[in-house]
Amino acid sequence: MSAAPLVGYSSSGSEDEDEAEAGAQARPGTGGCRRTQSPLPSQRLPVPDSVLHMFLDTEEEPEDDREKHGGRVRSFPHERGNWATHVYVPYETGEEFLDLLDMLLPHAQTYVPRLVQMEAFHLSLSQSVVLRHHWILPFVQALKDRMASFPRTFVGLEVTSGHAQFLDLVSEVDRVMEEFDLTTFYQDPSFHVSLAWCVGDARLPLEGRCLRELQNIVDEFEDPEMVLRAHAEQVRCKSGNKFFSMPLK
């Protein structure tokens, strides 16, 4: 069995749960008695700077610019005060890993030219969920409490050793999700490091021959088990544009 099986998959909207924020939009109305004569033309007066700056939002809202995310569309609509949140283990790449990726990606692009290399690499421990801004710090503190005594483990492109330890991590993350009434992780997860992505579902051209050829490249690479092995030293939580780190002891 190869130490690093390659997998092709498509992301699903089911990974993200929408959270609706109740509220009505204020609309200007007309008050007072009905006049029998035409109202005088209204003239807008400039608003003083002191008033304009009274209600500046103290929450740093994450930007929602598709051009900055390669055309990707978020699975749930952005609403003010909602922060997309994800828990994961970062995968620190070495020179040999990048050499292998330089062999894999061009080959995969002969089947799907629009594939783009990931900017960073990680293994997910949760689905993407929505947190209200005032939940972020309590949520992260609950994660830190759960992660405080966890040992390190080892990972590859798709985890073939250390799988049980990752399930233990997911179990602790799921407990925090349940405390905040959020969606837990998949029932039978497959832990993997994503190497590339593209807009749309490209599984059909990648499955079969392409994946077999990519797997052969991995198998023939010099000592792939050592190249793709890495210490999982911390768990991270990304909420909007904020990052939190929890070391694994």
Asked if 192 and 162 touch (Cβ cutoff 8 Å), the reply is: no
| Cα–Cα distance for residue pair 212/185, rounded to 1 Å | 29
What are the Cα distances from residue 166, in Å, to 9, 93, 189, 191?
20, 19, 10, 8
* Domain coordinates in residue numbering, the chain: 82-247
Distance of CA 24 to CAs 27, 57, 133, 134, 169, Å?
9, 19, 20, 21, 41
Residue 132 DSSP class: E
What is the predicted pLDDT for the residue at 38?
46
Catalytic residue IDs:
122, 192
Can you give the pTM of this predicted structure? Answer: 0.69
Predicted pLDDT of residue 154: 61
- Closest Cα partner for 12 from 86, 89, 76? 76
Please give the CATH topology (third level) of the domain spanning 82-247. Answer: Cyclic Phosphodiesterase; Chain: A, (3.90.1140)
Residue bearing tokens 């690093």: 4
Confidence of residue 37 (pLDDT cuts 50, 70, 90): very low
pLDDT of 93 higher than 70: yes
> What are 170's two structure tokens?
């997911």
Is the predicted pLDDT of residue 33 greater than 50, yes or no?
no
Dist CA 8 CA 209 (whole Å): 12
What tens digit of pLDDT does each residue of 122-152 get?
Answer: 999 999 999 999 999 999 999 999 988 776 6
